[in-house]
Structures are given as C-alpha cells and as structure tokens.
Structure 1
Amino acid sequence: MTIAGDSAAVEAQRQRGHARELRRQADEAEARAGRFEVAHRTESETAALLAPLAAIGYHLIADRRWPGSPTAQVDMVVVGPSGVFIVDTKAWREVAVHDGRITRGQEDVTDGVANLADLAWNTEKALAEIGLAPGEVHAVVALAGQRYVQANVASVDIVGTRDLIAHITRPKARLSATSVDAVLRSVLEHFPVITSDTLRPPQIVVSQTVLPRSTGLGLSDHPEMHPDPDLHVDTLDDEIVDHLLDGVLEAPIEDWMAFLDPAQARLVRRNFNGPARIRGAAGTGKTVVGLHRAVYLARATGGRVLFTTYIRTLPAVLKSLLERLAPDMVGRVDFVNVHAFASRLLKERGVTFRVDTLEAQRAFSDAWNVISASSPLKAPRFTRRYWEDEIAYVVKGRGLTHFDEYADLARVGRKHALPVDVRHAVWDLYEGYTANLRQRGVCDFEDTVLLARDAVREIPLDRYDAVIVDEAQDLSCAMVSLLHALVGDRPDGLTLIGDGQQTIYPGGYTLGEVGISLAGRGVVLDVNHRNTAEILDFAKQMVADDQFVDIEGVDGVGDAVSDITRSGEEPDLHHFTNRDDHDAALLARVEQVLRLVGTGRGDVGILTATNPQADKVRALLDTAGVASVSLKNYAGKSSDQIRVGTIKRAKGLEFKQVLLPHVPAKLLADAPQTESVADRERRELDRRELYVGMTRARDGLWVGALGKVGSAAG
C-alpha cells in the first residue's frame, strides 16, 4: 500500500544525497585548487630563486609534460654547464629521512620520490643519444622555504630551495656552451609542452635575471655575462654571488677526471654480445669510460659490478669518484685490485695461504745461489731480475705446471729468444724456488691468483653481473683467466680496457691463451682531451720506435690519435749533474706552478720511478713547508696537498701539472750501439713508464734528468 508523500520523501532524500555529493566534490575541488595554488606559489618562488643562474649560462624550463604521462607535469628542468637538473618543489613539512626512506609526517612518500628517480634515469637514457654522460642528469626534490637540507633517497637529492643554487653549481662547469645547447634542444623535445586546458596552475614565468655590474665579479671577459640595461636586474645577496662564482671557477682535477665527450658517453651504454675491449692511446679517456660503464651496467642489470685493475691506488680513487657521480650505486660497484680480490676470495672459501714478500725473496735467493757460475742464467747479458720476472710473469703468470708447456711457449712480451737448454735451467730455478716457498710455508702474489683461479673453477662465484678490467695489458694470463671465469662469455659480462703501448711490466699474454674471443667487439678511442698537443708530442718520443705484441695477438706500434683538443706550453726538460741543483730546480718549479690561476696543490703530481725516490721528494717538500700526500694514501678526495708517488701508482690518474724528477739521463738519450736484447727490453719498459708518467699531465710537464747528458730527447 503506497502512503501519500512517499515518492516526495524518496526524491528529497535523493536530492540531499546529490547535494552532499556536490558538496564533497566542491570540497575536493577547493582542496585541489588550494594545493595547486600552493604548488604554483612555491614553484614560482623556486623559479625566482633560480633565475640568477640564467646569467651564467643556465636555462630554466618550467611546467613541461612528464614524458609518457597524459596529465603529470614536471615543475622545472635546469640545463647548464654542470648538467641537467629535474627539480620538483614540495611544500612539505615534518620531513624525515631514515634507512633510505622519506616520510612526510606519518606518510611514507618514498615511492613518489622514486618516480622522480625513474624519470631522471629515462632522461639520461634519452640524452645518451647526443652523448651526454651518465651521471649528468640529477633528480632533485626541493623543500619550499627551507635551507641546510641535504639528503638522498632512491638516488634523488633532497635539498632546501634556499640551497638549490649551491647544489646545482657544486658539480662545477662540466659541459661546454656547445654541449649545453645540444642538451637543451634534446631536453625540450623530451619534455613536451603542456597543451591540455585541464585544471592546473598558470605557467611559471622565469625572469631573465642578470648579474649586476656593481657586484664586481670580474666577469668582463665573458660577453655572455654582460647585463642588458633593458632587463630587470635583481639584487643578489653575497651568498648567492659566492655560489655563482663557484659554478664558473675551474674545477679540481678530480672533477675533470670524470669528464666524458659524446663519443665516450655513447660507448658507455653500448651493448656487446660477449667479452669486449676498449683501447686507445694515452689521454683518450679509457678509464673514465670504464667508470661510467660500471655505473650504467649496475643500474641496467640491477646487480653488482666488479671494477678491477693491477694497480693498488686506482680502485680507491675510482670509488671516490663514484661517490660523487652516482652515490646510489655505492655498494653496487666493487673497486678492488686483482691481488686483493684474489686474497679476499680465498679467505671467503677458507683456503689457507700466507703471503710474505720478504720470505719469498729469501726463497728465491736460496734457489738462485745454488746455481753454478757456469749456468746460462748467469751469463753477463742477463741479470737476476730478468729471471725473477721470467718466473713471475711468464711461468707463474700462466700457471704452467709442466716443462713441456714452457718449452714451446711463445713468451709474448719478452724479446730475447731462449733455446731449450736455457729453458731447462729456468725450469730448474722455478722448481727450486717453489720448493723453498713450500718449505717456508709461504706463497707469493702470483700464487694467490692461481689459488683463486682454481677455487673459482672448482666452485663458480655467482656474484657479479659484469666485470670491468682497467689497464688489462698489465695483468697476467692467470689474472684474466680468473676474472673471465666470474662472468664467462655472457653479454656485457667482461670489458677489458687498456693500451698495449702503456705496458710497463715484463712478459705478457694474448687473449687467445685465455680462451677469450672478441669477435669484432673491440672499440678504439682516438680523441685526446687530456694532454696538450705539446705534451703529447714530447711524450711520444719515448715510444716512437716501440714494437709490442698486443693482447689481441697482433704486432703493433700503438694506436694513433685523430684529434688533440687542447694546446699549451712546451714541456720543460732540464739536465742536472748533481742532486742539489736538481732539487733546487724542482722546488722552484713547484713554486711556479702553484702561482698559476686555477692550480692548487691537489692538482700537482710529482711522479718517480721508485718508492725511495718518492720518499726523498716528500722529505724535500716537507723541509720547504709544502704539504704533500703519498699516492699510497691518496683516495681520490680533493685536498690542498701535492700528490707524490711512483708512476706505476699514477696509472689511470691525471694531474694538471706533472713533475718527473730523478729521471736517469741515459733513458732520454739514444740507445747504446752494443745494447743486449735483454737490456733493450728493460730500456723499452722504462721508457714506456716515462711515457705513462708524462701523459698523466693535463696542462704542464717538467722533467728533471740526472746524470751525464747524452743525445737527449727534446
């Protein structure tokens, strides 16, 4: 039975429900409008804060479409000399970062921040096509109105808006004006213009602020920094001026060491379907390509990467550079030299071993001393050191266990042919040395590599998705075999980097001996950005007639350089007949280079052939009141100390100014007419080492030669 008025009551109820829904929608719309207003206000404030960057070559792009999204937008993209910065302004309060996560009050907003990291990653991938190096795209969450905030979540930097200029200019000027223009064009394509008329705040207008003449910044030599009198000039406080200056001053050498050109940047992301090799002459950027490639592979695979080399100094330096370039990859890329890696692996596997270099030397001495004076090993044309190297690099470097293997060995890298009777004598010496090591219960460094290689062959180590080997030409056959066993022939698994002309250790190997086929997966870098043309021409005299067998098994004279992008002063070569004059000139040169604009103590490297020579240089500097640090303790951190160490420890490093003291004058003279094959081999190795030392220099080179002056180079 229908009661009168029922239908009206139902309709009234329906209308009230409709009204409540409309009020809810209105409240939501009001809230959205409020959030947009807050966002617009904070984003406008951020744009105003960043506007002074336009005066020193930065471009500010506001309100662009988030690539691939129909509605999301990007607040601000900054493109300039220090890279690309994707800035998202947040009006957040009660922000806390803990254990890699970020909260806003009680709300965990880590996933939203991670989305910005994904955007930066995809942007980096897109810009790689024009050669922008990995690590040059930065994601930034800017907290409105705050300062002195510095945190990192999911590779996104969390900073206060008042810290933004300092944060953006801190990486220093790394991109040229031409590079900035190319990047800007690609950024404008990657982040499309917003065309929808859906609810969103009005677009931000970035004022074209310029530096006022009254600040006295001394920028009159830079036409692009002259203010236009028709433009509005904002007054900059001293703090912002300081940050802007920081952005245009020349960077420390550690920043330069991470520089990539477009060709190198594309190589970083190149995919290979098996083991690959990157080679090139000194100064062509091989090591830095390897560093950036390690970052790329760690991100792309989501796994771990091993970056290794023969040198003990370089891993710590590269780890420090990684902390600057990609802090989110710290812990995902392991930097360790080959011997340290082998020792670590043996300890993990519970393999007992004891390395004692002093006892190993005694073991060799005992084996050497029982050899008769009539042994062919004691012929005048040979030295004990020659046979020590033969056993370390040729016999144990390959893990030979039977004389038949040695009898027919080509001995790549050794120039003196050995008849079978001499090889028998070498093998007897090797067996005597091995027996003495066992008797003492010790092993040498070559043994640790062989033990580690055998341990991996027995039980594979499934830890790394990729292995990058720098200065691969200096490794032994057994070392490369160990590293190859970690990843096999998987795509992008093994990358070998090096230059046969920079081999400074006796012996050698070919990839064929290890069972590695490159099958066309070799790339040659041929543009030298590091050295000036004058430095490179001078250094080339050390290896002009050098012949060597490359690890790919072909005879070579070194890769050519197609272009040298810089020029400068001629290197200084000085001869001295006594130590006092030499040391006085060395200190005078140090004083001279430290007066150069843009060169601090930390940009200077003094490199020697031996550790005792390096110790003498440090003592000389200490007496003169000049702060220095040994390359043994240098870990890639910028500091106001001259770097002093051996050339071997400097491999892979760079310095604005290099000084090479205590160079034997005979190495710079013509080779003796009666030089034996063994002596010629040693001389060529020593001259290659000088070549390596000279090519560490970016801007200036000084060579102090001691001894009788012959027919010298230069």
Structure 2
Amino acid sequence: MHSPATHAATPTPGASDDPLQRERDHLAASRAALRAMRQDAESLDISDVAGSWVTQQVLHNQIQRRIAALADLLHTPLFFGRLDFLHAISTDASEGAGGERFYIGRRHVHDADGDPMVIDWRAPVSQSFYRASRKDPMDIGKRRRFGYTGGELTAYEDENLSDPAELETASALLAAEIEKPRVGPMRDIVATIQPEQDEIVRADVGGTVCVQGAPGTGKTAVGLHRVAYLLYAHRDRLAKSGTLVIGPNSSFLSYIEQVLPALGELDVAQATVQELVAHVEVRGTDSAPAARIKGDARLAEVLRRAVRAGITLPTEPCVVVRGSRRWRVPVYELVEIIEELASREIRYGAAMEALPQRISHAVLLKMEQGGEAPDDRVQDAVARSREVKAMVKACWPPVDPAKLVLRLLSDAEFLAASAEGILTAEEQAEILWAKPGRSVKTAPWTAADAVLVDEATDLVQRTPSLGHVVLDEAQDLSPMQYRAVGRRCTTGSATVLGDLAQGTTPWATASWPEALRHLGKQGAHVEELTTGFRVPEEVIAYASRLLPAIAPGLAPATSIRTGQDTLTIRHTPDGLVESVVEACRTALQQEGSTGLIAADARIPLFEAALAEAGLAFLTPGTETTAEARLTLVPASLAKGLEYDYVVLDEPAAVVAGEPDERTGLRRLYVALTRAVSGLTVLHEQPLPVQLG
C-alpha cells in the first residue's frame, strides 16, 4: 500500500490554516447537512396526499424508514476517506488538482443546493477508494484516510498515488482500524475493505458467489456489505423480492445484527435455517447416523414418492348432472388427464387445483358436441360440482406435509414403499421413530425432521423466492438444508460464505461444487480468501497445523497482523480451572473483550468458578460493554464470534466432546481462531498430536 506518515491532531493556532481543522470543519458541515436532510424528511406533510388510508400508511412507513436511515451515529465516522482525482469526471469540477474531490462515507450527504458533501461508499465513484493502487491509480492523485477517536476526527494519512518518488509503506490508520478492540457487536468494515473483498461485494446481483474464507479473512463482513451494496445498486428490484441473511444460530445473528443498520439498511431480515423451516415444534434429537441419513439428498426423492403415493387412477367414469342432462367422462379420458398431470412434475397442489378444471373442460367439450354453447361460468360451475370434487378427492387427495412426514417416520411399510431402491433396510430402521407420536403436535420432531416437512411443503406448494440470500457458515449444512435455503432463492441469487475446515456437523460439506449443486446454484463462482485481517499470524499458523487432518485441500491462511507474543500455550498439571480463571482476570486488564472457550460439558464448571472468583460473565450473543467484557462460550457456539483475547480451556476436552476425532479437531480449529489480539491455551491433558 502507498502511504506516507500519519498526521495527528495538534493544537495549532489559526484553525483555517490547519489541514486537519479544515477536515474537521467539513465533518461538522456534513453533520449539519445530514441533520437538515433528516429535518426535511421529518417535516414532510402527507395529510393532503390523494389516495386511500392504505396509501397514506405506506407513505408514512416509507418516510419513517427514511428518517431512521438518516440518523447520525455520533460515534460512527460520517466519512472515512477522501479521493482527489487528477481530472474532472463531470461537467462541474470541484476543488482538487485539476479534478474533483470526494469524501467517501457510510451514506450520501448533500448540502442545501443538492451538491454532495459525502459520497456513499457504494457509489461507482467510490470504487476507486478501495481498488486504486500505485500500479493502477485509476486517475487518483491523492487518497486520504481519516483516523477517529470516538466520533472525533483526530488524524489523516495521505497516499500520493501519482508521485513515483514516494515510498511504498503500510497504512498505519488502516492497521489501527483493523486492530481496534472488539467491544460490543460486530462492526462494519466499510473503511477497510480490501480490493479482493471489494470485487466480491460489487459482484453482479444476477450471479451467485461462493466465498471460501479462512478464519479472520472477513467473509462474514463481505457478505453483509454485499447485501448493503446490492440494496443500493438494485433497490427497486430487491425491495419487491426481499433479502435475507441466514446464520448458524441466534447468538451469531445477535453479534452481526448492527452491521447493516450502521450502513443505513434497516429492512434486511435475519434468520437461522431452523427458523426458516419451523413448520413443527422441535422437541427431540437424532442420533448422528439418523441425522446424517435424514440430511441426505436422497430423502428428497423419498418424499416426492410419498407425496404422490396417494394418486390413484379411476375405475369408474365421472358423470356430471346439468339440468335434465347427464354428461359422462369415460375412465380412459380421466386416466389420460391424471397421467399427463403426474408426468409434468408440477407441484402436487397446483396439479390438484388444475385437475377439476381439466375434467370440467372434458365435460364442456361433450356439451359442445351435444349442441350446447357453454361459457367460462359453466366450466367453473362444473369444476365445483359435487361429482367432480368427489372424483378429484378420490384420485388426487389433498396432502398435509407434516402429517405425511409423520406417517413416513412412523409407518415402516409406508417408508419401505417410498424408499425402495433408495435407502437400505438398515437406513430405514435408523430413521424410524422408536416411539412415534399420535399427532403432529405430540410427535417427537427433530431439527432434521423439520427440514423434511419443509421439503414436503414445497412439493405440495412452491416456496416464495427472495431476491437475494446470504448464507453464512454454510459448511455446516446438510444437503437437505441446502435445498431448503435454495428454495428461498430459486429466482434470486445468493452469497454463500463458509470454511470447509470449520465444518463441525456429521454431514459437513465436503466440497463447494457439491454444496452449490444441492443449493440449486451449480454455476456459482467460488472465490477463496486466504489473507487474514483479524487473527494474528502466530495464532493462525498454530491453528493451521490442524489443516492436513481436517481439510487437506485447503491452503493455510496468512495474516497481515504479525505481532509477537500473541500466543501462549501452558501445561497446567495441577489447578487447571484456577489457572483458567486467573488467565481471564489477566486478559481483562487489557482493553477489549475476552472470551473463555471451553468444551460444552465443562461450562457449568466455569460458571461456578467465575462466580466464586467474582468475575461477571456474559453468554454468547449478549452485547459486551465497558463494564462486562468477559463471555463464557461453549465450544459449540464459538463459530463466527470473535474476541480480543481468548482463553481456551483443555483442547483435548473440546475434541472429545464431538462424535469423532475429525469433527473434534475441526471444533478445536474454530476455537483456536477466535482471538483478535491474543490467545492463551491452558491444558492438563496432552495436546492433540497434530498440534505438535
């Protein structure tokens, strides 16, 4: 990166001659202009707007969202960069070296005349801030970065991209922004987006992008910023179809929920996969083999057969009485209609709705042949007639998806018929409920069963598609879960984020092409991020020793954070719990957040130990504050979270807490890579041999 020294704030007399003060003046003027924009929105009067009450409510809601989006977050920099172009890029050239000057920020701000004071980071002109370099300056003479403390502008740093004499150095402000302590929820990275990240963020809305990212490479932030960019570039399109962010659990969603509002986007929904498929109440758990089978894509064909198992061909004609006449549709015609509908592979419910109309049409043809002239009203009346309804119910009966799956998992004969040639007898026995419930409400539904109900629901009636879906921690999804997500973006696009090395479920993704096939996005482009911006190099190098055992095809990640003494490994044969508590106390003396990660089975042990030591602690998903900065994290919930300092208890227990060694080592890899500034590993048992 091309960057000279940083200029810090100094109390200089004559503020107008101080470059830093001029930038502060522009910041103050920009904040005033933003307040004026908000006041303009608040003063809008729609009481006399023509239209219905519904129209006024829609307008009122739109105005309220506009007002909320114009909120000035005092501790969030309104702009973080400046571009001085060498040449004018519009007919109205402003100040600069013969060109124009633009301040780049989180949202657009204009003055009373409509002239821009801050340019939205998503605007085309802002792309140069992220991608311009010494090799390709993109007509940028100077790129300026700003440093802030709280909401106060305290420093700036210039990169003279057009000056061949200036030396190539790293950006101190960029490094400082990346290394800020992690207190509170996840922050946006809009000021620090790197060129390879920006390419993903600005990829076309029509295509699906899959990002394989090692820990700390910013893949989650990239996905969230991509949503914000797409809403800016294609707002009309996505406002109608909707956007959705899917995360692995509620703790993760709580951690990231402030990123999009900070970028001015308030209407993006968030959910877990389990929330998407909440057709039944989950009250049971599967064994690992049963969950693996239920998550297998073969179950889609089993369910398709089960849904269509009730279709039967008629053995008697359909006779419709109209007035004094009787109209007869013979058996062979009915068979042809039903077989044709069945062969088209349309949704079961859509075919069931079409069948009475098809039979009615056959009746109308006979009426015309008999000299009558029926119209559409007659066809609708025939379709609703008692005789036609009875025929449809007998041949194409309605299907309740939950009741169907209940029968499939309770009735061995029905399962055998539906799974013949697909599942072995042993596999069928594995997924059958030992104690089935008598009804949908009392059935022992598991998380995997809920996905099956969702699949059956889609076989009956098409699932509405969203415009764009971001799927994070995707490596942990089963093929059937991928199908559930894919149904939500059949006519839209997706951003798939994950790391194959962090797959910790029995059905964890083996390869991205396979996952994308189940998602229905076979043509997606796969990008790999290997440069880390969060995890220190010393820590990521240590964790990467596990890669040959957990993901041999992945290249080890590197990190721009090369600080020393970021990793401490300590063998504690006596008093491990006390040593862990003391390590937490030491970490809390530093600025930032601390996470104590332990195997799930050892969490109650540390709840008691921390309470006895007088150390207040939070649970994952709870926002850290200046007063409460220690979070006790079960290893199963650590994925996607980050803390300035991590204390990791007994790696062997983390590995042993999983059903097999490979999954356990992957869980350990996740735990090792949650630290931003320092990692302390304490152990009594021997470390896994893969760690050397």
How would you bin the TM-score normalised by the shorter chain?
Answer: 0.5 to 0.7
Counterpart of 1:544 in structure 2: which amino acid?
P
1:662 deviates by: 3.4
1:567 equivalent among 558, 563, 569: 563
Aligned with residue 597 of structure 2, among 607, 621, 624: 607
> Residue type of the partner of 2:260?
L
| Corresponding residue for residue 468 of structure 2 | 466
- Contact kept, 8 Å, 2:538 with 2:564, in 1: the verdict is yes
Equivalent residue letter for 1:424: A
Deviations along 1:649-691, whole A, 9 cap, x unmatched? Answer: 22112111111113327959xxxxxxxxxx9981111111111
1:655 to 608, 623, 643: 643
2:619 to 620, 630, 639: 630
| Residue 341 (structure 1) aligned to one of 251, 255, 276 | 276
2:682 maps to what in 1? 704
C-alpha contact (below 8 Å) 1:488/1:494 kept by paired residues? no
1:192 equivalent in structure 2: 93
Q: Which residue of 1 aligns with 2:583?
A: 589
**Greater alpha carbon shift after TM alignment, 617-626 vs 651-660:** 617-626
The answer on whether the counterparts of 2:12 and 2:18 sit within 8 Å (CA) in structure 1 is no
Report the equivalent of 1:45: none
Q: Is residue 618–residue 632 contact of structure 2 (8 Å, CA) maintained in 1?
A: yes
Q: Is the 8 A contact 1:354 1:443 kept in 2?
A: yes
**What do the CA deviations read for 1:160-185 (whole angstroms, capped 9, x no partner)?**
xxxxxxx66x226996xxxx46x455
- Contact (CA 8 Å) 1:321, 1:636: kept in 2 or not? no
Task: Please say if 1:262 is aligned against 2:194.
Answer: yes
Amino acid paired to 2:228: V
Given the superposition, is the C-alpha separation of residues 458 and 680 from structure 1 closer, same or farther in structure 2, using an over 3 Å criterion? closer
Q: How far 1:518 moved relative to its partner?
A: 3.8
Amino acid at match of 2:630: I
Partner of 1:576: 572
Tell me if 1:686 matches 2:667.
Answer: no
- The DSSP-based 3-state class of the residue aligned with 2:549 is coil
Change (3 A) 1:249 1:59: farther
Q: 1:107 deviation in Å?
A: 12
Distance in 2 (CA, whole Å) between partners of 1:531 and 1:710 is 21
Deviation at 1:617, TM superposition (A): 1.9
Alpha-carbon distance in 2 for matches of 1:406, 1:189 = 65
Identify the match of residue 321 of structure 1 among 228, 253, 259.
259
Helix, strand or coil: the match of 1:630? coil
Q: TM-score, normalised by structure 2?
A: 0.58
Contact 1:606/1:660, CA 8 A, preserved across alignment: yes
The structure 2 residue matched to 1:60, chosen from 7, 10, 23, is 23
Q: Would the alpha carbon gap of residues 278 and 437 (structure 1) be closer, same or farther in structure 2, given more than 3 Å must change? A: farther
The yes-or-no answer on 1:428 pairing with 2:363 is no
Find the counterpart in structure 1 of residue 76 from structure 2: 171
Task: Give the whole-Å Cα distance in 1 for the aligned partners of 2:24 and 2:47.
Answer: 30
Structure 2 counterpart of 1:323, one-letter code: P
CA distance in 1, matches of 2:261, 2:502: 28
Give the match for residue 453 of structure 1. Answer: 455
Question: Is 1:354 matched with 2:255?
Answer: no
Query: Aligned to 1:591, what secondary structure does the other structure show?
Result: helix
- Residue 287 of structure 1, CA deviation: 0.6
In structure 1, C-alpha distance between the alignment counterparts of 2:178 and 2:20, rounded to whole Å? 10
CA distance in 1, matches of 2:88, 2:288: 62
Indicate the SS of the match to 2:547: coil
**In the alignment, residue 706 of structure 1 is paired with which amino acid?**
E
Matched-pair contact (CA < 8 Å) for 2:597–2:646: yes
In structure 2, the partner of 1:390 is: 292
1:608–1:646 contact (8 Å) kept in structure 2? yes
Aligned match for 1:282, one of 215, 233, 237: 215
Q: Specify the code of the residue in structure 2 equivalent to 1:655.
A: Y
Runs of 5+ consecutive residues of structure 2 not aligned to the other structure: 1-10, 49-64, 99-111, 114-153, 158-175, 304-414
Contact kept? 2:27, 2:78, Cα under 8 Å: no
Query: How much has 1:462 moved relative to structure 2?
Result: 3.6
Q: Secondary structure at the match of 1:643?
A: strand
Secondary structure of the corresponding residue to residue 628 of structure 1: coil
State the match for 2:546 in structure 1.
542
Q: CA contact under 8 A between 1:665 and 1:712: conserved in structure 2?
A: no
- The answer to whether the Cα contact below 8 Å between 2:297 and 2:480 also exists between their aligned partners in 1 is no
SS in 2 for 1:627: coil
**After alignment, is 276-285 or 255-264 more displaced?**
255-264
**Is 1:153 matched up with 2:157?**
no
8 Å CA contact 2:536–2:566 kept in 1: the answer is: no
For 2:337, the equivalent position in structure 1 comes to none
Counterparts of 1:515-534 in structure 2, within 5 Å, are 516-519=520-523, 521-534=525-538
Distance (whole Å) between structure 2 residues aligned to residue 496 and residue 686 of structure 1: 24
SS in 2 for 1:542: helix
Instruction: For 2:660, give the aligned amino acid.
Output: R
Q: How many residues align?
A: 470
Q: Is the 8 A contact 1:396 1:446 kept in 2?
A: no
1:338 maps to a residue whose letter is V
Relative to structure 1, is the Cα distance of residues 471 and 222 closer, same or farther in structure 2, using a 3 angstrom cutoff? Answer: closer
Give CA-to-partner distance per residue, 1:412-443, whole Å, 9 cap, x none: xxxxxxxx9xx532321222448468695231
Change (3 A) 1:635 1:396: farther
Give secondary structure in 1 for the equivalent of 2:650. strand
Write the distance in 2 (CA, Å) between the matches of 1:53 and 1:606: 50
Per-residue CA deviations over 1:9-43 (Å, capped at 9, x if unaligned) read xxxxxxxxxxxxxxxxxxxxxxxxxxxxxxxxxxx
Q: CA deviation at 1:637?
A: 7.1
The correspondence for 2:608, drawn from 591, 602, 619, is: 619
Which stretch has the larger CA shift, 513-522 or 259-268? 513-522
Shift in alpha-carbon separation, 1:545–1:89, aligned structure 2, 3 A:
closer
SS of equivalent to 1:664: helix
How far is 1:265 from its partner? 3.0
Structure 1 counterpart of 2:669, which letter? Y
User: For the Cα contact (< 8 Å) 1:305–1:467, is it kept in 2?
Assistant: yes
CA shift, 1:337, in A, is 0.7
Partners of 1:89 and 1:50 lie apart in 2 by 27
- 1:297 maps to which residue? 230
Amino acid at match of 2:427: V
Letter in 2 for 1:654: E
The normalised TM-score by structure 1 is 0.56
CA contact (8 A) 1:663 1:706 kept: no
Post-superposition offset of 1:388: 4.3
User: What CA distance in whole angstroms lies between the structure 2 residues aligned with 1:629 and 1:700?
Assistant: 19
- State the Cα deviation string for residues 128-175 of structure 1 (Å, max 9, x = none): xxxxxxxxxxxxxxxxxxxxxxx97262236xxxxxxxx66x226996
1:89–1:464 Cα change, 3 Å: same
Deviation at 1:450, TM superposition (A): 2.1
Give the whole-Å Cα distance in 1 for the aligned partners of 2:220 and 2:599: 22
8 Å CA contact 1:173–1:249 kept in 2: the answer is no
Q: State the match for 1:476 in structure 2.
A: 478
Aligned-pair CA distance for 1:616 = 2.5
| Contact 1:281/1:526 (8 A) holds in 2 | yes
Relative to structure 1, the CA distance from residue 660 to residue 185 in structure 2 (aligned partners, 3 Å threshold; closer, same or farther) is: farther
